[in-house]
Amino acid sequence: MKVWVQGFQWYLEASVHVALAVVSLTLVSSWQHNISVNVHLISAQFFGAIAVYNFIKYGIEAQRYVFVPRGRHKKYFWFSIPALLLALYSGWFLWQDLWVVFWVLAILVGLYALPMLKKGKNLRSIGWLKVFIVALVWAIATVIVPVYQKEATLLWDTWVEFVQRFLFVCILMLPFELRDMEVDPAELRTLPQRYGVKKVKVLGVVWVVAFFLLIFFKDIIGYGELWRKAFLAAILLLMLWRMHAERSRYFASFWVEAIPMFWLLLYLGFPD
């Protein structure tokens, strides 16, 4: 049993779970737009997400962004090196114009994680902003990238889906914000610190309603997509109702991050 627990803990802490969430959303976008799955893109995103998230989570101090000499995080550092190399190798086979988008994402991640602002701060240290930065990166990576690598022109429905995906990730971020409320420095002024738990839940409900209603702004609305997003909205509302600061450590890091995979399963189990 201990081996299984350690394996599960490694699976979460090494960012494999969150990487699968990223890939799941990319696959959702591919099927939404009737795009054939690009194996190199999926591989680049999966291994890239592992490297980037470990870079952010375990690069707390400036000198550790490049080298983690010792401690319990060392194993994740060494795991991230081949992941990064595999991401770069897979990216080599992608459309060259797509690398411009990747550079934009890299700049956003750098500003988010590295102390590049005044007084050694980064975008992550601006509490109310970090939710939207993460959501923007995820929306670009899982909507714009898979569509752009197939079609140079992004149509209206793609942009609507982009906004929906942005809201979707914002909603998923709220349990993490609530979980970290007690340990985040007061000067961060995160959303729960600014407005309290109840108002953050209300904000989440507003975002869920907007996420669902935006589907009616699309030029083409499929019946399958309609009911899938209605069901997904219900899951998000249940998540908001159940979330509070004292939830188990796995509520956000496992169950919430599994919602994108559940969305993918809806496509696999109930295709159009």
Question: 179: which residues sit within 8 A by CB, 6+ positions away?
Answer: 245, 247, 251, 252
Which residue in 66, 61, 103 sits closest to 81, CA to CA? 66
Q: Which pLDDT tens digit goes with each residue over 75-130?
A: 888 888 999 999 999 999 988 888 888 888 888 887 777 766 666 566 667 767 88
Number of domains in the chain: 1
Residue 41 belongs to what domain range? 2-269
Q: What is the pLDDT along the chain (272 residues), one digit of tens a residue?
A: 677 888 899 999 999 999 999 999 999 999 998 888 899 999 999 999 999 998 888 765 434 545 554 566 778 888 889 999 999 999 999 888 888 888 888 888 877 777 666 665 666 677 678 889 999 999 999 999 999 887 767 899 999 999 999 999 999 999 988 887 776 666 667 788 888 888 999 999 999 999 999 999 999 888 889 999 999 999 999 999 888 755 667 888 899 999 999 999 998 877 76
Residue type present at position 224: G
